[in-house]
Amino acid sequence: MVVETLVVAMWAMLPAYVPNNVAVLAGGGRPIDGGREWNGRRILGDGKTWRGTAFGTAAGIALAFVLNQLQPLLSGTVTVPTFPPAAAVSLAFGAMAGDILASFLKRRTGRERGASFPGVDQLDFVVVSLSLTAVVATGWFLSVFTLPVIVAVLLVTPLLHVSTNVGAYALGLKNEPW
């Protein structure tokens, strides 16, 4: 059923959706690249900080454990998965790593901090969080992320990403609406 597929997709992705938003709120302080450049451009830029990455990752992992407590309450309506620790970590950290990788690619292609990179901005964290999860929690990944669930994630994530970023921009939390 389409609704069930969507619910499972969103539930399973929540620990990967939250880190980047928490990083926006918690960011600041020392940049991961320490201000260093490569070929005249910053390696990552001031928008990727240790604090944002640590808080974002921790928030995603914590959310997975909260969802594990809520999961039994939902059974009977839709069967949503619980998150084994390895999957909680890979979804949350993978989302942050994907965003960091995107900044690396932005800098290499001459895009300054805050520049948009259509396509990459919307799906970077999905690709890396799911790939990492497929490696570190393979059995869980294969049982949860069936082909319809993956299709749902790839269709819905860009819409969610655009709307949350426009919202964060409107609230003055983010400098750009992407």
Q: Closer CB to ligand CTP, residue 86 or residue 115?
A: 115
Show the binding pattern over residues 109-138: x = contacts ligand CTP (CB under 6 A), - = does not: ----xxx-----------------------
- Our finding on whether 99 is near ligand CTP (CB under 6 A) is yes
DSSP string, 46-71: TTSBHHHHHHHHHHHHHHHHHHHHHH
Question: Phi-psi bin for 73: left (phi > 0), alpha (psi -120 to 50), beta?
Answer: alpha
Of 119, 91, 90, 93, nearest to 106 by C-alpha is 119
Show the binding pattern over residues 44-63: x = contacts ligand CTP (CB under 6 A), - = does not: -x-xxx--xx----------
> 18, 64, 106, 141: which one contacts ligand CTP (CB under 6 A)?
106
Q: What's the CA gap between 126 and 161, in Å, rounded?
A: 11
Residues engaged in binding ligand CTP (CB under 6 A): 23-24, 27-28, 45, 47-49, 52-53, 96, 99-100, 103, 106, 113-115, 174
